Chains A and B, each alone.
Chain A
Amino acid sequence: MQVSGLLGMCALSSCGLLEFSPNQTLVPAAERQLTTQNLIRLTSRPKQESDTLRFVFIGDCQRFYDEAEDFVASVNQQRKIDFVIIAGDISDFGLVREMRWIHHRLRKLNVPYLTVIGNHDEVGNGRAVYESVFGPLNYSFVYGGTKFICLDTNGREYGFQGQVPDLGWLGKQLADTANTRRSIVLCHVPPTDEDFDPNLVQPYARTIRSSRQLVFHLSGHIHRFTNGQPFHDSVQYLTAYNFRKRHYNILSVWGRRKFNLETVAYAPAL
């Protein structure tokens, strides 16, 4: 009886109106573990290692719902896109409703989308919400012979305790190159930013540098596109436009470490 009551409550709250706390984590089953769901969609369309991988790169959709709809319309007009990457800050306040609002727009994309957690997603109960809606804060996947390593670099949210980013995990992921030809690292706060744990900047850059097959390092947070080698070690670090800028990049990756960068502007729908 108690279980059925709970389920009834759950069904009612799935329409969103009956909310027990804005910080609650529970979402309808269809909106849980979206990282896994999107990876299943992605791998259902397998890609050869020799094919060019092409994906959209953008970040920081936090509280830009007007722009999100225009972004989806624009990406859906692109051809031969494999998936979309959102470089963190899905939400502004770390609330479940915000992550669902974004998902309700991004699920209209013709291709799967993948995310990494941003500092704003860690405010309040955000970490638990992100784990419920999207999945693990650190994860990796392989597609088209390319290993994507996505990790939490929001060190300031942990008080710079030296634990985030998890360099041990990152090192292992970079070292494990079985059945892959290329690697790409995705995070939110770039190591050049003051919100990155200052004691871990150099060790992090060293770990990244240790990879022999890294194409580039991707992040968001600073709300503008940059492309450079800040550590002068031949490692390319890119940062993404945020949704507000109404621009995104399309990254094409092929060969061992070759890549091409396109910039697309998207206008407000009339």
Chain B
Amino acid sequence: MRTYSLIISFLLFCLSGHAQVTEPSRQPWYVPEHAVLQTAGGIGMIAGGVGYALGAHRRFDADVLIGYVPGTYTGDRAFGIFTLKGTYSPFTLPVDTHWQIKPLAIGALINYTPSQMLNRSRDDKYSYKNYYWWGSTVRLGAFLGGRVGYGFNTRTGRKRVASAYYELGTNDLYFVSLLTNTKGLALGQILTLGLGVKVDF
């Protein structure tokens, strides 16, 4: 028992010592780096979530969001929409010491709307093969966008960025509609706009 206490004490000592030598901003890998809040873009009237900035130059954002669409917009009960999103921003243009612009963002997302209101299309309802080839609850999306960020230091000296972004995109079903109607549909008719903010923790 005494030995066990000693080991625990030693581990605690090591951990605290380790914490002292590490940069204060360093978090365990699984702790999200930023919070995100978005409206529209097909993922909710309001969608909130967290994400990570990945890669050597932190050009790749991976976000997970939960969106809410109130019943006023669905005809009955509210929708919850679960979204995974990846965004690649290859360029960062510093404007001054605080402001920065990411003029181009390329991204893709997948979302799931597990609402009972959605009549499922893949219940093998129809005997002919691939009659309903899409799923009514899962959507794939792609978008182009941009982002404006403001960098600042916290009182502990950690550097944080708050940014606002837009995403002009579409989903798989709209895109398929455009593909088969090159004359009757215009690109502008299949677009959706998403607006959001991201703040580093």
Contact = CB atoms under 8 A, between A and B. Distances in A.
Interface string A120-146: 001111111101100000000000000
B119 A123 contact: yes
Interface in B89-128: 113, 115, 117-119, 121, 125-127
B74 A128 contact: yes
Contacts of A19: 40-42, 192-193
Interface string A55-76: 0000000011111110000000
Nearest to B132: A123
B171 A125 contact: no
B185 A156 contact: no
Interface stretch (B24-32, B49-57, B75-83): B75-83
Contacts of B189: 16, 97, 101
Interface stretch (B3-11, B150-158, B176-184): B176-184
A23 B81 CA distance: 11
A76 B185 CA distance: 21
A9 interface: yes
B74 A157 contact: no
Given A18-B193, A19-B192, A122-B119, A25 B74 contact: yes
| Most central of B76, B81, B125, B177 by chain A CB within 10 Å | B177
B69 interface: yes
B177 to A, nearest CB: 6
Given A19-B42, A21-B113, 18 more contacts: A18-B40, A18-B195, A22-B139, A23-B79, A23-B113, A24-B73, A65-B177, A66-B181, A69-B183, A93-B136, A93-B173, A97-B174, A123-B132, A128-B74, A128-B75, A128-B117, A131-B75, A156-B125
Interface of A: 6, 9, 13, 16-26, 63-69, 92-95, 97-98, 101, 105, 122-129, 131-132, 156-157, 159, 194-195
